[in-house]
Amino acid sequence: MFALPSLSAIAFLAVAAQADQTCEFALVRDGKPLATIVVAVEPTVAAAFAAEEFQDHVRRITGATLPIVLDNVPVPGSRVLVGRSQATDALDLPGEPLKPQEYLIRYLPDTLVLLGCETGGAKPVPPRRAEGKFGRALGFDGRRDVTVIEKPGFRDEAGTLEAWGWLPAEKQPECHGTILRLDGVIPWTYHILQRDMNTSRISYTTYDGKAGHGLASGDLAEGWHHVAGTYDAAAGKMELFIENSSECNESYLMDQVEFYVTLKMADQPELDGNQLIDEFFTRYYGAAAGPMKDQYLAIEETFSNPKNYPIEIQCSDAHQHQTKELAWGSLGTKQRMARFGQLMAQAKAAARTPQEKERVALFEQGQWEYMRKGQP
């Protein structure tokens, strides 16, 4: 990470330089920029980020925007050189390349030099096209490839970051592998889904400018993984989902059909809900649609039919909480669980294509096994 000092430190040093050398280095005067930020023709990720951070902080304080140019462009007036470039090389600055958390601030006539550790490679390049989980996808090398979405519409206070990603067997000893990162409107606030350095674990980290929070998975096998991080500041809650379960052991597949129907009807309220349920199972499970739908409807009927509950609950208007006795004594009885198991076996036998088999297996692992393991 490029270690960029705060503007308060720069202002202090400028005063000291003025006292010792009777000189002045002004960035802005009367709301007008007096200096230009200069970076290399091919700046590193760290240098490009630091230049934009410097520009943003000056703008927030003064209202003036310092232009950013490449070092092959002649610059009139004062310069702020950010990161190594031909312009800094020409100054013949002493010292070895800087290590993490090390930085150099140097005042020269009409020039301010800001250098730091610039590990992280050259300027980002667009990702390549690759074979994905469900067809074509974007492939990243974990070093330079990146894609940026401006203003994604994700509120800092609540939302979900979600992705399918391939986890290679080989680990990354030199850095974390970012999957998704959301930067907040306030500098240095973020949400990050990543593969942790030198591990096969996925973590979800948030930082609101004051406090950070994080969750991490256990070790994951090589292959495709469905990753989702959810965050709700008002509720003080965050969760990391890997495949089918969260860190709180909640099934992520529980409302899959409901999500599909709800989102479809949010766009087109005139659609028929029952037809959408048929459409989901046919398009998602293919040849296994019949037993998978029968199992879904049987489970839904078990849960939603008042007759399946004890009489005291049927006759009460009070809100009820799930209990072990209610779950397995009244709803998930041995007879019903046996029927659900038969439908699961039929679905596995009916699935034909690799994709159908994979989706049935995902439901079996994330929903059916989740139910079966809880059975007393």
Best mean pLDDT range from 26-40, 132-146, 253-267, 306-320: 26-40
> End-to-end distance of the chain based on CA atoms, in angstroms?
52
Which of 25, 32, 26, 27 is CA-nearest to residue 63? 32
Q: What is the Cα–Cα distance from 235 to 122, expressed in whole angstroms? A: 40
Buried b / exposed e over 219-244, threshold 16 CB at 10 Å, is ebeeeebbbbbbbeeeeeebbbbbbb
Q: Report the pLDDT value the prediction gives residue 246, as an integer from 0 to 100.
A: 54
Q: Report the 3 state secondary structure along 39-107.
A: ECCCCCHHHHHHHHHHHHHHHHHHCCCCCEEECCCCCCCEEEEECCCHHHHCCCCCCCCCCCCCEEEEE
Residue 133: DSSP 8-state: T
pLDDT > 80? residue 26: yes
Tell me which amino acid residue 133 is.
K
- Segment holding 343, helix H or strand E: helix 334-350
Question: What's the residue count for the chain?
Answer: 376
Q: Report the pLDDT value the prediction gives residue 8, as an integer from 0 to 100.
A: 29
What are the structural domains of the chain? 7-116 (3.30.379), 128-246 (no CATH), 256-374 (no CATH)
Out of 110-124, 193-207, 247-261, least confident range: 247-261
pLDDT > 70? residue 122: no
Residue 247 pLDDT class (50, 70, 90 cuts): very low
pLDDT > 60? residue 19: no
pLDDT > 80? residue 146: no
Q: Report the pLDDT value the prediction gives residue 2, as an integer from 0 to 100.
A: 30
Where helices occur in 217-255 by DSSP H, the ranges are none
- What tokens were used for 321? 């909480």
Please state whether the predicted TM-score (pTM) of the whole model is above 0.75: no
pLDDT digits (tens, 9 = 90+) for 335-356: 999 999 999 999 999 999 999 9
Q: What's the whole-number average pLDDT of the chain? A: 80
Q: At what angle do helices 334-350 and 354-363 cross, to 10 degrees?
A: 160
Largest interatomic CA distance in the chain: 90
Chain mean position to CA 226 = 12
Best mean pLDDT range from 136-150, 240-254, 293-307: 293-307
